[in-house]
């Protein structure tokens, strides 16, 4: 659903009044800011660095196919998804830009990838021959694949010592083309002079020596990419030929160590939150001091109080651990969440929100006019990261794409 910004009133729709507003101008602005940042005018390069927009996890909750469609128009060079299924959804939206399937494929999925023109990340040597066989069967030529190298995260990717095996297998694959080689950083947000703070450099060294080994063995590694959000913001030495922003595309710098460095990167690479999660007050009542609210009576009124029920619960993406901790913004005031978050509703203390009434809009995070209620602050308050919080906005919450 796309609406114009001119109409500032909340979206009109049938269903429970809980929704996410996705700001197209913030999303496109963030992509441009990232692209400009990794292509400083002072640096002379033959070709500008590319951007692979990470749209996995339903584009961190923003709507994978819709976000990819918007970012394709705005010039994203590649997209990154977790699985063939996510990639197919993006293709069905009409996106033609290359899509990298970061999780690779399960045996049997090769045909799906080939039919939808999805590029798998090869993270085990034996996947090459399986994909080659499928490409040969469908008579496809020059099919792109990318190689993921595990440089220290010990998650997915071939180990540097397996470069020889990979190059040998690749030489047998007449229908495949190695379009790119990449790795993923384990702790790029750690900027301290510690062992962890030096892990990124160690990963870079392993990456480039493996790439060199591939070249020596006659394999062209294709486009090289390494950097996630923290590395994009803080470590130009990781930018290579392309960068892979996730969190920053959606408006949030990751938490850095030390935390003070965040302000520096917010200044250098200013971003705007893309999603605002909102719901309406569906009930407002007064209760006497001493009365309890919600399951297990975990909140007890210390004074005569006005209690609002908001039509958003944990099945919508209001994290249950926000119970008795977080706040929603109503008429510009922070109204504390009281009691345990229920599946479909959450209760607020609106005693100090003058005139709070049924139908009022409550914002969990995002923007309201010129105010920003940052999701990273909400995430931090419950000990998680912004990406976890925003990608938890569930399917039953309608998304409105505002121009």
Ligand X SMILES: Cc1ncc(COP(=O)(O)O)c(C=O)c1O
247 binds ligand X (CB under 6 A): yes
CA-wise closest residue to 34 among 246, 255, 258, 185: 246
228 binds ligand X (CB under 6 A): yes
Host H or E run for residue 285: strand 275-287
Q: Site size for ligand X, by CB under 6 A?
A: 11
Q: How many CA atoms lie within 13 A of 139 on its CB side?
A: 0
Residue of 64, 104, 152, 246 interacting with ligand X (CB under 6 A): 246
CB contact at 8 A, 287 and 293: yes
The encoded tokens of residue 243 equal 């960068």
Query: Which residues are within 8 A (CB) of 73 and not within 5 positions of it... i.e. 6 or more apart?
Result: none
Task: Choose between 16 and 235: whose C-beta lies nearer to ligand X.
Answer: 235
Q: Which residue is nearest to ligand X (CB)?
A: 246
Nearest-10 crossing angle of helices 84-92, 64-73: 60
Q: Which stretch binds ligand X (CB under 6 A): 239-247, 264-272, 321-329, 336-344?
A: 239-247
CA-wise closest residue to 73 among 138, 131, 27: 27
Least separation in angstroms between CB 193 and ligand X: 22
Q: How far is CA 150 from CA 97, 186, 204, 242, 396, in A?
A: 26, 10, 11, 18, 37
Least separation in angstroms between CB 24 and ligand X: 20
273 binds ligand X (CB under 6 A): no
Residue of 50, 175, 184, 280 interacting with ligand X (CB under 6 A): 184
Task: Choose between 17 and 251: whose C-beta lies nearer to ligand X.
Answer: 251
Task: Choose between 134 and 234: whose C-beta lies nearer to ligand X.
Answer: 234
CB contact at 8 A, 279 and 396: no
Residue of 26, 84, 102, 397 interacting with ligand X (CB under 6 A): 102
Q: Which stretch binds ligand X (CB under 6 A): 111-119, 246-254, 305-313, 340-348?
A: 246-254
50 binds ligand X (CB under 6 A): no
Active-site positions read 56, 295
The values of phi and psi at residue 380, to 5°, are: -60, -35
Residue of 49, 69, 91, 244 interacting with ligand X (CB under 6 A): 244
CA-wise closest residue to 29 among 386, 274, 373: 274
Least separation in angstroms between CB 314 and ligand X: 23
- DSSP structure class, residue 22: E
Task: Choose between 70 and 121: whose C-beta lies nearer to ligand X.
Answer: 121
The 10 Å Cβ neighbour count of residue 53 is 27
Q: Which residues form the interface with ligand X (CB under 6 A)? A: 54, 102, 184, 228-229, 244-247, 254, 387
């Amino acid at each position: 659903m796309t609406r114009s910004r001119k109409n500032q009133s909340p979206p009109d729709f049938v269903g429970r009044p809980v929704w996410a507003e996705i700001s197209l101008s913030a999303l496109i602005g963030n992509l441009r800011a990232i692209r400009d940042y990794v292509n400083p005018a002072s640096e002379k390069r033959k070709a500008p660095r590319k951007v692979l927009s990470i749209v996995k996890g339903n584009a961190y909750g923003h709507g994978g196919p819709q976000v990819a469609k918007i970012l394709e128009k705005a010039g994203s060079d590649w997209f990154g998804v977790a699985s063939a299924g996510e990639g197919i959804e993006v293709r069905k939206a009409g996106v033609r830009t290359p899509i990298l399937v970061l999780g690779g494929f399960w045996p049997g999925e090769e045909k799906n990838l080939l039919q939808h023109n999805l590029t798998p990340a090869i993270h085990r040597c034996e996947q090459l021959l399986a994909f080659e066989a499928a490409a040969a069967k469908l008579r496809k030529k020059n099919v792109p694949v990318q190689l993921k190298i595990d440089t220290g995260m010990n998650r997915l990717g071939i180990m540097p010592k397996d470069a020889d095996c990979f190059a040998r297998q690749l030489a047998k694959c007449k229908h495949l083309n190695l379009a790119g080689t990449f790795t993923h950083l384990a702790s790029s947000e750690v900027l301290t002079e510690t062992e962890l703070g030096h892990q990124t450099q160690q990963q870079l060294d392993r990456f480039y020596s493996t790439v060199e080994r591939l070249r020596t063995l006659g394999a062209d590694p294709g486009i090289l990419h390494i950097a996630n959000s923290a590395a994009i913001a803080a470590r130009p030495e990781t930018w290579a030929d392309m960068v892979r922003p996730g969190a920053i595309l959606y408006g949030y710098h990751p938490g850095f160590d030390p935390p003070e460095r965040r302000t520096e990167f917010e200044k250098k690479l200013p971003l705007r939150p893309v999603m605002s999660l909102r719901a309406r007050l569906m009930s407002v009542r007064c209760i006497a001091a001493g009365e309890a609210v919600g399951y297990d009576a975990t909140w007890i009124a210390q004074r005569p109080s006005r209690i609002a029920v908001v039509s958003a619960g944990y099945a919508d993406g209001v994290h249950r651990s926000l119970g008795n901790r977080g706040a929603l913004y109503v008429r510009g005031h922070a109204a504390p969440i009281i009691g345990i978050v229920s599946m479909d509703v959450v209760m607020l203390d609106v005693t100090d929100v003058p005139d709070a009434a049924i139908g009022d809009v409550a914002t969990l995070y995002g923007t309201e006019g010129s105010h920003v209620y940052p999701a990273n602050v909400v995430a931090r308050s419950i000990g998680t990261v912004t990406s976890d919080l925003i990608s938890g906005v569930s399917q039953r919450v309608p998304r409105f794409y505002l121009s």
